[in-house]
């Protein structure tokens, strides 16, 4: 059995024991078994670029060979390790399409999700280098959807527990992205669109930390539209959900983006309001 360690999770392949060869023929003269053994040795030594070349040669020369399915699985892994995340996702998608009943289908979904996770550079957030809620949510949704398919189809998979933990993080991130976009719409004078973003969180992400800010976005959107009854309902809900929310005051509610507020200057944007 061949084991691969990926991001703290154990990724297991049903590798095959291959006999060694006394000679080292040129790549174009190697048999399928010899090429596969060379790929496995490169993988064991973490020479991923060499492994990738060997596996691609195998797939090209022996597309219907004895190791064809295993080669496709290992191409997913090798592309991921080479940080070719789009290639890893494409290879995983192809494997899922071609082998819908394969015993390692959960693995393909898992690495596909991990590749989207890494492509979105989520690790940067732990270093406080970037607020990922302000990035394009496309990769976030792709990763979430891949992990969701994994846990729905294979709830007892070895990868399901890790996928669920990542989904919780991604769900929080998606909710924060909705809030950020809602706040952007408020700044741009589009309160209806802002209310829609807040409602998305209220209806689909109620169990995330972004909920109070989403309610505040809705309250402020209604204030912009001078729909006071709806605004008051949102303010009342905000007091119930988060009595200490910074936009709540003794007098009521303080708007973060008052109507007709002038746009920030270039220097305010790039210095985070430190320079007017």
Nearest to 38 by CA among 22, 55, 23: 55
Predicted confidence (pLDDT) per residue in 105-114, tens digit: 999 999 999 9
Predicted confidence (pLDDT) per residue in 233-258, tens digit: 999 999 999 999 999 998 889 999 99
Contact 231, 248 (CB under 8 A): no
The verdict on domain 32-157 having CATH code 3.40.920.10 is no
Burial (CB count <10 Å: 0-12, 13-18, 19+), residue 163: buried
**Average pLDDT of 32-49?**
90
Give the integer Cα–Cα distance in Å for 215 and 238. Answer: 6
Q: With a threshold of 0.75, does the pTM exceed it?
A: no
Contact 258, 191 (CB under 8 A): no
Neighbours of 53 (CB within 10 A): 16
- pLDDT-derived band at 260 (thresholds 50, 70, 90) equals confident
Alpha helix ranges (H) inside the chain? 32-44, 48-61, 68-81, 85-98, 105-119, 138-153, 160-187, 191-204, 211-224, 228-241, 266-270
The residue with tokens 């979430």 is 144
The segment(s) of the chain belonging to CATH 1.25.40.10 are 32-157
3-state secondary structure 27-60: HHHCCHHHHHHHHHHHHHCCCHHHHHHHHHHHHH
SS3 of residue 3 by DSSP: strand
Q: What long-range pairs does 55-60 form, CB within 8 A, spacing at least 24? A: 57/27, 58/32
Predicted confidence (pLDDT) per residue in 182-203, tens digit: 999 999 999 999 999 999 999 9
Q: In this predicted structure, what is the pLDDT of residue 12? A: 39
């Amino acid at each position: 059995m061949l084991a691969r360690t990926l991001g703290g999770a154990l990724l297991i392949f049903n590798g095959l024991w291959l006999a060694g060869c006394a000679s080292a023929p040129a790549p174009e003269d190697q048999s399928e078994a010899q090429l596969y053994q060379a790929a496995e040795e490169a993988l064991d030594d973490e020479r991923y670029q060499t492994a990738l070349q060997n596996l691609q040669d195998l797939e090209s020369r022996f597309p219907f060979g004895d190791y064809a399915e295993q080669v496709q699985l290992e191409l997913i892994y090798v592309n991921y390790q080479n940080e070719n995340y789009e290639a890893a996702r494409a290879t995983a998608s192809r494997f899922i399409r071609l082998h819908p009943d394969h015993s390692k289908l959960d693995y393909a979904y898992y690495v596909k999700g991990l590749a989207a996770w890494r492509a979105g550079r989520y690790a940067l957030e732990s270093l406080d280098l970037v607020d990922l809620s302000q990035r394009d949510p496309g990769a976030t949704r792709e990763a979430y959807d891949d992990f969701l398919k994994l846990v729905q189809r294979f709830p007892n998979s070895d990868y399901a527990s890790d996928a669920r933990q990542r989904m919780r993080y991604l769900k929080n991130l998606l909710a924060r992205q909705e809030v950020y976009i809602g706040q952007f719409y408020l700044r741009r004078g589009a309160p209806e669109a802002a209310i829609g973003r807040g409602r998305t969180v209220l209806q689909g992400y109620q169990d995330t930390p972004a909920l109070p800010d989403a309610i505040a976005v809705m309250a402020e959107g209604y204030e912009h539209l001078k729909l006071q009854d709806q605004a008051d309902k949102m303010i009342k809900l905000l007091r119930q959900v988060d009595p200490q929310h910074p936009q709540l005051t003794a007098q009521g509610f303080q708007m973060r983006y008052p109507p007709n507020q002038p746009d920030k200057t270039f220097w305010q944007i790039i210095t985070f309001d430190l320079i007017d």
